[in-house]
Amino acid sequence: MEIKYQRNTNGYLDITFHPKWDYIAITRLYVENFLLINMADKENIHKVGTAASELLENANKFSIENGIRMIVKKSKVDKIVLLSVFNKTTKENAEKLMKRIEEMDKWDSLDYYIYRMKESVKNKKESSQLGLARINHEGQAQISAFFDKEEGVIEVKAIFCI
């Protein structure tokens, strides 16, 4: 997928790396420092950084091939930050994720976050599965996903109004 730089952005960041846990914390710091150039509000910068970390963790867990890609755009016109994460995954994993997003969209963000916390405690799984709910509620982001069946690539987007 080719992404072109757009004139109405205050910045544009495009990173691709091999799925490796060590890169997530470094990438989060890089994203936050990138946003510091054009944003003064550290709370919003932290929200985007947290979302980057959560989405990269998910991509790392469910990637079936090398190469996770993350794009961050800061719009100067609309005061929006767009965070997109791409990775190759199975159709089953993509469908599960998209179903989770559909489920989340039917709830108030706080109610869904609390529901996911209760489910996490009840199920005692290896991972809490709170990432999307956290991004949606704490980050106040709009989350969506698209799966390209031919390429086997899923894109998860988080849009922040800052």
Q: Is residue 123 part of a domain?
A: yes
Question: Maximum distance among all alpha carbons in the chain?
Answer: 48
What does the pLDDT read at residue 77? 82
What does the pLDDT read at residue 8? 64
Q: Is residue 3 part of a domain?
A: no
What torsion do the CA atoms of 95, 98, 116, 18 make, to the nearest 10 degrees?
Answer: 80
What does the pLDDT read at residue 2? 47
Query: In which domain, by residue range, is 67 found?
Result: 9-161
What torsion do the CA atoms of 29, 34, 39, 44 make, to the nearest 10 degrees?
Answer: -30
Number of domains in the chain: 1
Q: What is the pLDDT along the chain (162 residues), one digit of tens a residue?
A: 444 545 566 778 999 988 788 889 999 999 999 999 888 899 999 999 999 999 999 999 999 988 899 999 998 788 899 999 999 999 999 999 999 999 999 999 999 999 999 988 888 766 678 999 999 999 999 999 999 999 999 999 999 998
What does the pLDDT read at residue 132? 96
Is residue 156 within 8 A of residue 55, CB to CB? The reply is yes
CATH of the domain at 42: 3.30.565.10
Query: How far, in Å, CA of 141 to CA of 134, rounded?
Result: 9
Q: Is residue 32 part of a domain?
A: yes
Q: Is residue 1 part of a domain?
A: no
What does the pLDDT read at residue 21? 84
What does the pLDDT read at residue 4? 52
Q: Is residue 45 part of a domain?
A: yes
Q: Is residue 4 part of a domain?
A: no
Q: Residue 81 forms beta bridges with which residues?
A: 74, 160
